[in-house]
């Protein structure tokens, strides 16, 4: 190290077994001869067995956690060539986990014939930030793209927000075992995403158990306790045999509790204990059982509001709220409807063993309707799946025509109208409404309906000006909508 002409070592931290202190002094003298500017600091370390992983790791860990790194002033290297293989592995793990802010240094002797055996040899500095290596960075980018595509079920989404969300979910899925909470409206794809996360963890994070899924809305009373935590024979009427419970079945695996807000308070308390201690008590048992499961919870409810209403435990919410992701509705991802349409057609072909396609005019007609504010998509992707299934089933000779699309459009609109509760307008008073022409009132009521179902002024504007905005170089949907509301003395805050 100290003979390299282009590598200046200002200070060397030399780890020495006490019985080799005399040898260390000789090494220090040799260093002083070839590199007088290098200071050597000796650290006495002692391992009863330098091949014992636990001893070595603990010893090196204690050393570096008490070391005062000054990364703003000094650049650190770890010489990885010397020491037992166990020591080399421990140095690598400590560096990879960022306990040591350093790069790795490897040295090797010159082995060519005819060369002076006392030559300095060569060295190489390795940075564990692999993104700095061009070929590796390209390969990692390709692998990550495959992973994101896998989590999206192969659907080429255009939504920047959704793609960023999936990127975050990918990082958490691989790097964390903590519970995840997936929020979103019914039919937004929570169940499918949970199963994809499980598959990803099974291949990338070493998950060995099975995937267990349950909709908590179907669990009631003793059935809920028994289904989740199991029971012993005779625990209640009808319990004729032992039952392990779904949490036990998810041991070393992952359980997806959809609609977790539907669980009763007693079940929530037992789930909290199971999450924290990895143990729980089956019904009728006097001895706890263990299960090392991972959890993904799903909900379409506002759990914070449920906590305030006394329907959900705040301590359980705090436990599952570390990683919370909200899936957008289909209406918020209208730019992705085309890709999801292809996905649903592929699913139909696989399940029915029959290929069905749109003709050009029919596809354009369906997408125009699907992307318009007229399409409510109340049940999100379930609505889209049902629509494709119906059109594909009724398609003459495997081709979906414009007539098929028009019939399906009527079905969807009728279903949404029947399922939509009658709304009482609370924005405008009767006196205010009486001052507006009937022609304007019809349009205003429609605008107010879109505003109510939208999260932001911009979101509502995008829906209302979906056609005209395409022809504008600069779109300012929020400003257009704000000015329209102002005509009637309304503000966004009042509308919401």
Angle (deg, nearest 10), helices 85-96 and 53-65: 50
Task: Looking at the structure, tell me whether residues 282 and 348 fall in a common domain.
Answer: no
Q: Which two tokens stand for residue 32?
A: 């002083």
Query: 17 lies in a domain?
Result: yes
- Nearest-CA neighbor of 272 among 231, 313, 324, 303? 313
Query: 5 lies in a domain?
Result: no
Task: Give pLDDT, residue 422.
Answer: 43
> In terms of DSSP H, where are the helices of 259-313?
265-277, 303-308
Task: Looking at the structure, tell me whether residues 287 and 239 fall in a common domain.
Answer: yes
Task: Give pLDDT, residue 419.
Answer: 61
Task: Looking at the structure, tell me whether residues 113 and 171 fall in a common domain.
Answer: no
Q: Which two tokens stand for residue 17?
A: 């077994």
Query: 4 lies in a domain?
Result: no
Is-contact 495 451, C-beta < 8 A? yes
Query: 141 lies in a domain?
Result: no
Task: Looking at the structure, tell me whether residues 476 and 389 fall in a common domain.
Answer: no
Task: Looking at the structure, tell me whether residues 216 and 353 fall in a common domain.
Answer: no
Task: Give pLDDT, residue 495.
Answer: 87
Residue 484: exposure state from Cβ atoms within 10 A (0-12, 13-18, ≥19): middle
Q: Compute and round to an integer the Cα radius of gyration of the chain.
A: 32
Task: Looking at the structure, tell me whether residues 461 and 387 fall in a common domain.
Answer: no
CATH number of the domain to which 97 belongs: 3.40.50.10770
Query: 404 lies in a domain?
Result: yes
Which residues of the chain register pLDDT less than 70?
112-118, 129-134, 136-137, 140-141, 222, 419-426
- Per the rule left: phi > 0, alpha: psi between -120 and 50, beta: everything else, 247 is alpha
CATH number of the domain to which 357 belongs: 1.10.8.60
CA distances to 11, 29, 42, 470 from 39, in Å: 5, 11, 10, 68
Task: Looking at the structure, tell me whether residues 393 and 434 fall in a common domain.
Answer: no
Alpha carbon 50 to its chain centroid, in Å, reads 41
Q: Considering 288, 305, 326, which residue would you say is the last residue of a domain?
A: 326
Task: Give pLDDT, residue 462.
Answer: 87
Task: Tell me the three state secondary structure of residue 476.
Answer: coil
Is-contact 280 274, C-beta < 8 A? yes
Instruction: Tally the domains of the chain.
Output: 4
Which residue range forms the structural domain that includes residue 463? 430-495
Task: Looking at the structure, tell me whether residues 322 and 348 fall in a common domain.
Answer: no
Task: Give pLDDT, residue 134.
Answer: 67
Task: Give pLDDT, residue 442.
Answer: 84
Task: Looking at the structure, tell me whether residues 403 and 489 fall in a common domain.
Answer: no
Task: Give pLDDT, residue 114.
Answer: 57
Task: Looking at the structure, tell me whether residues 116 and 173 fall in a common domain.
Answer: no
Task: Looking at the structure, tell me whether residues 172 and 128 fall in a common domain.
Answer: no
Q: Considering 102, 132, 162, which residue would you say is the last residue of a domain?
A: 132
Q: Considering 269, 295, 326, which residue would you say is the last residue of a domain?
A: 326
CATH number of the domain to which 231 belongs: 3.40.50.300
Query: 146 lies in a domain?
Result: no
Task: Looking at the structure, tell me whether residues 296 and 364 fall in a common domain.
Answer: no
Q: Which residues contact 196 (CB under 8 A, 6 or more apart)?
A: 150, 151, 153
Task: Give pLDDT, residue 132.
Answer: 64
Query: 139 lies in a domain?
Result: no
Query: 145 lies in a domain?
Result: no
């Amino acid at each position: 190290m100290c003979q390299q002409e282009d590598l200046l070592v200002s200070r060397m931290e030399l780890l020495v077994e006490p019985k080799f202190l005399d040898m260390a002094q000789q090494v220090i003298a040799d260093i002083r001869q070839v590199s007088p500017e290098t200071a050597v600091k000796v650290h006495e370390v002692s391992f009863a067995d330098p091949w014992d992983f636990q001893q070595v790791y603990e010893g090196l860990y204690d050393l570096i956690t008490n070391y005062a790194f000054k990364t703003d002033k000094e650049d650190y290297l770890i010489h990885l060539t010397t020491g037992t293989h166990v020591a080399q592995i421990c140095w690598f793990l400590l560096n990879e986990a960022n306990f040591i802010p350093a790069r790795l240094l490897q040295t090797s002797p010159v082995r060519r014939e005819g060369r002076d055996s006392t030559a300095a040899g060569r060295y190489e500095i390795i940075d564990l930030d692999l993104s700095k290596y061009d070929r590796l960075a390209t390969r990692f980018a390709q692998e990550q793209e495959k992973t994101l595509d896998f989590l999206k079920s192969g659907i080429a989404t255009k939504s920047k927000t959704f793609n960023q969300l999936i990127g975050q979910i990918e990082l958490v899925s691989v790097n964390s075992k903590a519970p995840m909470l997936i929020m979103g409206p019914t039919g937004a794809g929570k169940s499918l995403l949970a199963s994809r996360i499980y598959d990803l963890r099974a291949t990338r994070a070493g998950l060995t158990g099975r995937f267990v899924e349950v909709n908590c809305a179907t669990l009631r009373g003793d059935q809920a306790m028994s289904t989740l935590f199991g029971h012993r024979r005779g625990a209640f009427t009808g319990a004729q045999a032992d039952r392990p419970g779904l949490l036990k079945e998810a041991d070393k695996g992952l359980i997806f509790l959809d609609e977790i807000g539907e669980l009763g308070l007693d079940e929530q308390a037992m789930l909290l204990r199971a999450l924290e201690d990895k143990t729980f008590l089956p019904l009728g048992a006097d001895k706890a059982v263990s299960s090392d499961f991972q959890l993904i919870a799903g909900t379409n409810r506002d759990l914070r509001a449920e906590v305030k209403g006394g329907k959900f435990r705040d301590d359980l919410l705090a436990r599952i709220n570390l990683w919370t992701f909200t899936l957008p509705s289909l209406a918020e991802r209208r730019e992705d409807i085309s890709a999801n349409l292809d996905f649903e057609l592929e699913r139909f072909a696989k399940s029915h063993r029959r290929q069905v396609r749109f003709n050009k005019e029919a596809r354009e007609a369906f997408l125009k309707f699907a992307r318009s504010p007229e399409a409510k998509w109340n049940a999100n992707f379930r609505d889209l799946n049902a629509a494709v299934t119906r059109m594909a089933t009724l398609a003459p000779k495997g081709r979906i025509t414009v007539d098929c699309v028009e019939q399906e459009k009527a079905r969807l609109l009728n279903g949404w109208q029947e399922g939509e509760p009658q709304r009482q307008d609370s924005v405008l008073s009767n006196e205010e409404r009486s001052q507006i022409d009937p022609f304007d009132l019809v349009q205003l009521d429609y605008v107010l309906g879109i505003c109510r179902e939208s999260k932001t002024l911009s979101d509502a504007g995008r829906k209302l000006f979906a056609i005209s905005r395409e022809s504008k170089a600069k779109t300012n949907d929020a400003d257009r909508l704000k000015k329209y509301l102002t005509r009637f003395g309304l503000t966004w805050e009042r509308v919401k």
